[in-house]
Every structure is written in structure tokens, then in C-alpha cells.
Amino acid sequence: MPQRTGGPSIRTALCVQWMFEMDKLPIGKLPPELLKDLLRRHAPSDPRVLLGPGIGLDCAVLDFGDTLLVAKSDPITFTEEEIGWYAVHVNANDVVTTGAAPRWFLATLLLPEGRADSEMTTDIFDQIGDACKSIGAQLIGGHTEITAGHDRPIVAGTMLGEIERDRLITPLGARPGDHLLLTKGIPIEATSILAREFPDRLASLPTEVVSAAREFLHQPGISVVPEALAAVETGEVTAMHDPTEGGLASGLWELAEAARVKLVVERDSVLIPPESSMICEVLGVDPLEAIASGALLLSVKPEGLESVREAIEDQDVHVSIIGQVIEGHGVAMRTEGVERPLRWPPRDALACLFEEPPSTE
């Protein structure tokens, strides 16, 4: 059964308030209004750019004639363990939301001064190679260096894919009347990161819970490639989105902004695994606002609902109907029949855990 937790922690609210009072941008994504302004000022003019940057638009799409090239870039900064595996899959997840198959990966690897050695470098490269092999992609280039000012490695990746012109799917396609589906549950990626990065703070939990949570990276896994490609084959998917930083709440808002629609979500239909619920509660993390790679958000035509569900379940992936697309703007959450606006998180719920906590005195 889906697990419930409360709203954002007091710690998170204080942390965000403190950063903005200091006139500094906090850890995490840029505030949406600032990003919108920057993207407007630097919009591409090349007519071959069929889909450029925007809120909720995670991939660029370029016109290559009969086929389209899909490009995505994303770094891994919240964790060090298995960073190469993360980097490939989070980039591939965004590419596959367009219906494109991820094919070519470029990695920029920044290694920490004083810690980098051949073992660390080889391990990360092997993780990248294994992850690419698991989805049928190849490492084709990038950059490596030892960098001053970092205490851990960082991988910034770019994934390229291709798709036939008439098969392209974008977040712009969600339409009133569509059903909203969510695969696996939330927050899979955050659960694994928290268990790996903060084990001492989870000492009150059973060891088997923390051990299982660590392995969420692989089981149920952060890749959505198989289920996304299977869903696309039905021809009934109107939009897909990969909820990453800011979790499901940000993913819903980004989809609503891109498609200019309103999304209404049934809270009890959103699956939160027990391990995720327990870890988020101990650390004061809102699971709706925590990085959620591994889940796939889809909008589906009403007449295609069952075929999409069957296609995803055939991949041994759990899928839930969590709501609907309607006319309007924004995101609402319905809990026990009461509908309330869902806030757009100012940043990911994990961000405060990586900062020096503000004083409350």
C-alpha cells in the first residue's frame, strides 16, 4: 500500500529562508523565474532546433532530415558512490522520454585534487561502461581532469539519441482528458542516496531497511528506459517526464508548465515504498520533493490507458494511475477528497542535508 508522510520539514523551510535572506542562491536548480528569464534572453534562432530549452523541456531536439537528434546533459553531484552508473542513467532517462533510444554518451569527469588515483578513475569508467552496455549505448567522448576545489568526483554527462520525425514525444503533448500514470514509486533515487550518504543518521532503523534502500539504485532501479520504450510502442502516450531534482512535485509542475495544463493528482495513488517512507521520516525529507529518478511520469490518451499499462507491466514494472490532465494551469493534490494546490518546491528536499544547517537561535 502507498505510504504517507507529512509535508516539508521545518529544517528544510528554515534552510531555504536562510539562503534567500543571505541573497545567495541555494544548492539545487535555479529558481524557475530566473531560469525562464535567462532562457528567454538566450533563445536559439537556428530553425533546425525543433525543441530548445524551457521549463519542463529536458532535451534539445535537432532536425537531421528523416531522423531527429535528441540531446541531454546532466551532472551528478549529490553522491559519490556509483557516480558513473548514475550519470549514464539519469541522462538516458530524459532522452527516452522523447521516445528516442539512447545511443551515444559523452562524460566530463572532474576528479578531486589530492584524492584522485588510477583506482578511482578506473572504477568510474567501468561504471559508465557497464551502464551504457545495459541500455545499448556507447561512450564516445568527453573530458577528464583533476580539479582543484572539489572534495569528491563529479560527472557531467551528455546523452544523444535518435528518433524518426513522426514518433517524437515531448512534454508539450499532454492534453485535457489524458490520464496521468506513474511507474515504480517515489523517491527511488533519493532513497538510495540517503542510505549511502547518511548511514550514521539512519542508525535507528533496522539494518535490513538501510541495506535494501542502498540497492534501490539497482532494484527497483533508476533506469526508465525499458518501460518508456515499451509505452511508446503503443502509440497512446502523449507526453513523458522524468521527475529528478525537486521530485514528483517539481516533475508535475514542469509537465504542467510545458503543456500549459492543470494536473490533478490523487495522493493515495502515489506509491512510496516502505523503505523510502521510513528513511524520509527519520531525515525530515518530504518524499514528494526529493530527487525521484526511477519513476516515469506519463500522460496517456483515455482510450489507450489499458494498452499502456499492459506494456509497462510486461516489463515487470509497477505502474499506477495517479490523476488526470484538465483545463487550467498548475498542479493540485487531492487527499481524502479534498483538493489543494501543490507547491512547486524551491529546490530538492535533499539539498539542505548537504549544507551547513542554519542556526535557529
- Assign 23 a pLDDT band (cuts: 50, 70, 90): low
pTM to 2 decimals? 0.86
Going from the C-alpha of 63 to that of each of 26, 33, 47, 49, 166, the distances in angstroms are: 36, 29, 8, 6, 12
Least reliable range by pLDDT among 53-57, 100-104, 116-120, 236-240: 53-57
Whether 236 and 119 have beta carbons less than 8 Å apart is answered as no
Taking the CA of residue 120 as centre, how many other CA atoms within 13 Å lie in the half-sphere pointing to its CB? 19
Q: Does domain 10-22+171-354 have CATH number 3.40.50.300?
A: no
What average pLDDT score do residues 222-227 get? Answer: 96
The confidence score (pLDDT) of residue 79 equals 81
Please tell me the predicted confidence (pLDDT) of residue 15.
Answer: 53
Which of these, 262, 259, 222, 260, lies nearest to 242 by C-alpha position?
222
Query: Beta strand 138-147 with 101-112: parallel, antiparallel or unpaired?
Result: parallel
- pLDDT 10s digits, 86-99: 999 999 999 999 99
> Cell 549505448 identifies what position?
137
Fold of 58-167: 60s Ribosomal Protein L30; Chain: A; (3.30.1330)
In the numeric block, the cell 532503523 is attached to 205
Evaluate whether 28 touches 291 at the Cβ level (below 8 Å).
no
Cell output for 255: 509537465
Cα distance between residue 73 and residue 59, in whole Å: 8
Is residue 353 within 8 A of residue 280, CB to CB? The reply is: no
Specify whether the CB–CB gap between 96 and 141 falls below 8 A: no
Cα 112 to the center of its chain, rounded Å? 26
Distances (CA, A) of 310 to 185, 230, 293, 302, 304: 17, 9, 22, 14, 10
| 271 pLDDT tier (thresholds 50, 70, 90) | very high
Q: Mean pLDDT across the chain, nearest whole number?
A: 90
What is the pLDDT averaged over residues 95-111?
Answer: 96
Looking up cell 532522452 gives 95
Handedness of CA 53, 56, 59, 65 (dihedral sign): negative
Q: CA-CA distance, 229 to 322, in Å (whole number)?
A: 20
Q: What is the largest CA-CA distance in the chain?
A: 63
Q: Is 7 helix (H, G, I), strand (E, B) or coil?
A: coil
CB-based contacts of 171, cutoff 8 Å, min separation 6: 56, 57, 58, 97, 239, 240, 241, 254, 255, 258, 259
For the stretch 326-359, pLDDT in tens is 999 999 999 998 999 999 998 899 988 877 554 4
Dump pLDDT digits (tens) for 141-199: 999 999 998 889 999 999 999 999 999 999 999 999 999 999 999 999 999 999 999 99
For residues 208 and 353, give the distance between their C-alpha atoms in angstroms, rounded to a whole number: 23
Q: Is residue 128 classed exposed, middle or buried when 0-12, 13-18 and 19+ CB atoms within 10 A define those classes?
A: buried
Question: The cell 534539445 sits on which residue?
Answer: 60
- Looking at the DSSP bridge assignments, the partners of residue 339 are 334
In the chain, where are the structural domains located? 10-22+171-354, 58-167
Shortest CA distance to 309 belongs to which of 180, 188, 189, 168? Answer: 180
What is the β-pairing status of strands 297-300 and 179-183? antiparallel
Q: How far apart are CA 152 and CA 81, in angstroms?
A: 10
How far is Cα 136 from Cα 158, in angstroms, rounded to an integer? 15
